[in-house]
Amino acid sequence: MASGASPGSSKVRAAVMDAPGSMRMAGFPVPAVGEETALIDVDLCGICGTDKHIYMDLVKSHPLGMPTKFPIIPGHEIVGRISAIGPRAAKRMSLTGGDLRPGDRVVPVIDLRCGECTGCKMHPGWPTCERGETYGWGITSKDPPHLFGGFAEKMFLLPQTKLARVPDSVPDEVAVYAEVLAVGFTSVARISHSMQLGGEGTSFVGDVVVQGSGPLALAHVIAAKVAGARRIVVVGMPEYRLELMKKFGVDLVIDAGKTDRHERSGRVAEAVGGEGADVVFECTGDPGVVEEGLSYLKPFGYYVVAGIYSDNGMTTTLNVQKYVSGRYATVVGSGGQTEQSYGQALRMMESFAGTIPFEKVVSHQFPLEKHAEAMATAISEKSMKVAFRP
């Protein structure tokens, strides 16, 4: 039998999205926990750009062509405490060694791996499982035990789930950002292997441009800073977010809403010494910025597409010879993070707490009942990270 809380007659409150733009409060039974499953009490859950895009009906499909499986309990940026866990789950779910137990603070890895398909076998740790089961949008709340997302008081964890323990010194308000920061860490890791090739890639004692100014862009700023970036330029908007970026050590912010492409290109070139950037991270979700981002690169530079996670139906055109082959550029797709990167993100939060103001990332918190106001605040961009506190 599992240790911890037991099912009862009380209902678990959750915010359910039945369709784009349609959310409601609902109650679900407290599920029973078996030998290979677990249940957590959700302390905080962030609203991701993907949650916003689903709500705004901007998502045609997710990575590997997977659909949103309505109705859903959204939310995959989660920190919580284990309330019940089975004996096998206590051993198998731990990412960081040692058995898990009730009371442990954890961050769940949101993508599940079956371990049997070609994607799992060829790319262990990567979110390439052919089943496409992802908490928050890839498992419907229609079927028991229902609680497969973070916009709820409790969340049910399936046997394939991995959990990263939260260091004692990292508060919930910071740990809730771990899933996002893990994406930034993974993007950096994707390109670092090419440092071994003569003249290719970057050692990050170099220049970085980040397109975008939301939480994902900030995660790439932080990861690049930790990795030793020489200079960091952020091209984004609005002013609220750009001002916050400055507090994280960004050398130059350029308001995309107040400049044209020619002016932005000139300011970027000047900021990085006229040679172009070693790396550009796309963190906008807009395919229309790709050609401009590629134009910022120096020869043999890297362009990492991290923000275009879901297919929104938009396409773009670019001069491939001028900006890719003619510059020996490498374009890298980064549609998520590895399971190992969650622990790295949490350790980053622990190690750099004195120099990086992680506590400023979550700008707004809401109870579940105010889901409409919370979504509107997140969509308005007069915020950084908006989170639910169930």
Output the pLDDT for position 97: 82
Looking at the structure, do residues 40 and 122 belong to the same domain, yes or no?
A: yes
Output the pLDDT for position 4: 45
**Whether 176 contacts 78, CB under 8 Å:** yes
Tens digit of pLDDT for each residue in 239-271?
Answer: 999 999 999 999 999 999 999 999 999 999 999
**CATH number of 113's domain:** 3.90.180.10
Count: domains in the chain: 2
Looking at the structure, do residues 135 and 192 belong to the same domain, yes or no?
A: no
Q: Please say whether the dihedral angle defined by the alpha carbons of residues 185, 189, 190 and 194, taken in this order, is positive or negative.
A: positive
Output the pLDDT for position 42: 98
**Whether 110 contacts 135, CB under 8 Å:** yes
Output the pLDDT for position 3: 46
Strand partners, 362: 385
Output the pLDDT for position 6: 47
Q: Please, where are the H alpha helices in 227-280? A: 239-246, 261-271
Q: Which domain holds residue 273?
A: 180-333
Is residue 159 one of the residues assigned to a domain?
Answer: yes
Output the pLDDT for position 193: 57
Task: Give 58's Cβ-side CA count (13 Å radius).
Answer: 14
Looking at the structure, do residues 159 and 10 belong to the same domain, yes or no?
A: yes
Looking at the structure, do residues 192 and 105 belong to the same domain, yes or no?
A: no
Classify each residue of 97-114 as buried b or exposed e, where b means 16 or more C-beta atoms within 10 Å of its C-beta: eeebebebbbbbbbbbbe
**CATH number of 277's domain:** 3.40.50.720
Output the pLDDT for position 2: 54
Looking at the structure, do residues 224 and 291 belong to the same domain, yes or no?
A: yes
| CA 177 remoteness from chain centre | 8
Output the pLDDT for position 7: 53
Q: Which one, of 327, 109, 342, 312, lies nearest residue 219 by Cα? A: 342
Looking at the structure, do residues 161 and 223 belong to the same domain, yes or no?
A: no
Residues 6+ apart with CB under 8 A from 340: 95, 125
Which amino acid is residue 16, in one-letter code? V
Residues of the chain with pLDDT under 70: 1-9, 193-205
Q: Which residue has the tokens 């550009």?
A: 280
Strand 297-305 to 330-333 pairing? parallel
Looking at the structure, do residues 172 and 184 belong to the same domain, yes or no?
A: no
Cα separations in angstroms, 148 against 20, 272, 286: 18, 45, 28
Looking at the structure, do residues 19 and 166 belong to the same domain, yes or no?
A: yes
Residue 353 CB burial class (10 angstroms; 0-12, 13-18, ≥19): middle
Output the pLDDT for position 190: 85
Please tell me the distance from the alpha carbon of residue 254 to that of residue 232, in angstroms, as a whole number.
11
Output the pLDDT for position 272: 94
